[in-house]
Amino acid sequence: MGETVRLLHHPTSQPCRAVHQFMLEVGIPFEEEVVNLMDGDNEKQSFKDEYNPTGQVPILCDGDFVVWESAAIGFYLNEKYDAPGNWFGATPQQRAIIQQYLHWHSTLLRRGAGAFFYTHFAECIWGDRDYSKEIEKGRHTLDESLGYLETWLTKSEYLCGDEISFADLMGYHELVSHVAGAILGEADWKEFPKVKQWFDKITARPHASTVNAMIMQVGQMRQDGQMIPMTRKTSLAKGTEITPGVPS
């Protein structure tokens, strides 16, 4: 396998940012390739055949070995580069708690991304339509998730203990998008003060601003009413109720 791995990603993607920040935090040498999600390069059959049948990013290439899904990529990099034990757990119990969070994350908090996606990106793909049901669904899931995070963060400094882990990066970058798009605001932080304290702590880490730069810029553009040019006509947004290409 090659000495330097290759990361296929896009900085507007929450899971991509989590993996990217992890690699920077641990000091993993890598080459990066930004995949053009705006024009749907990731949804071309040739891309799916070569890298990932779902078309989703991030994707990690280590020589001829290809792995996708952010948690699996993080686990692989943790093993390959013998990362410090806090990231994926130094004991069986710690590893189980981190894996427990990652499974929960993919089935709940990740689906809350619909609130951000349908507020800001859906119009750029499908035009002026009624996305209120999708936004409401995403917001409900986001609020439910924040309640869980608040409870866990009353018991420990980070989501899975008193040291930062990959679970924190996954959760954090979901919320970064909601902050960038003004889905989350002061009222939410007042309701979930422990989440805000934790969010600010990770934001202060050296690599967070580097990884977050583009999504913050894109979020501000959409808040200002600017359209994001896209030629893609499909979406891989989780929890969607829209059938791509079918008028509502």
Evaluate whether 230 touches 39 at the Cβ level (below 8 Å): yes
The pTM of the whole model exceeds 0.75? yes
Q: How far apart (Å, rounded) are the C-alpha atoms in residues 225 and 221? A: 6
229 in a structural domain = no
231 in a structural domain = no
Which CATH number fits the domain that encloses residue 46? 3.40.30.10
Domain span at 33: 5-80
pLDDT, tens digit only, all 248 positions of the chain: 457 999 999 999 999 999 999 999 999 999 999 999 999 999 999 999 999 999 999 999 999 999 999 999 999 999 999 999 999 999 999 999 999 999 999 999 999 999 999 999 999 999 999 999 999 999 999 999 999 999 999 999 999 999 999 999 999 999 999 999 999 999 999 999 999 999 999 999 999 999 999 999 999 999 999 999 999 887 766 555 555 554 44
Residues 157 and 200 in one domain: yes
Which CATH number fits the domain that encloses residue 127? 1.20.1050.10
Count Cβ neighbours within 10 Å for each residue of 157-182 and write b for 16 or more, e otherwise. Answer: ebbbbebbbbbbbbbbbbbbbbbbbe
- Stated as kind and residue range, the H or E segment containing 115 is helix 114-120
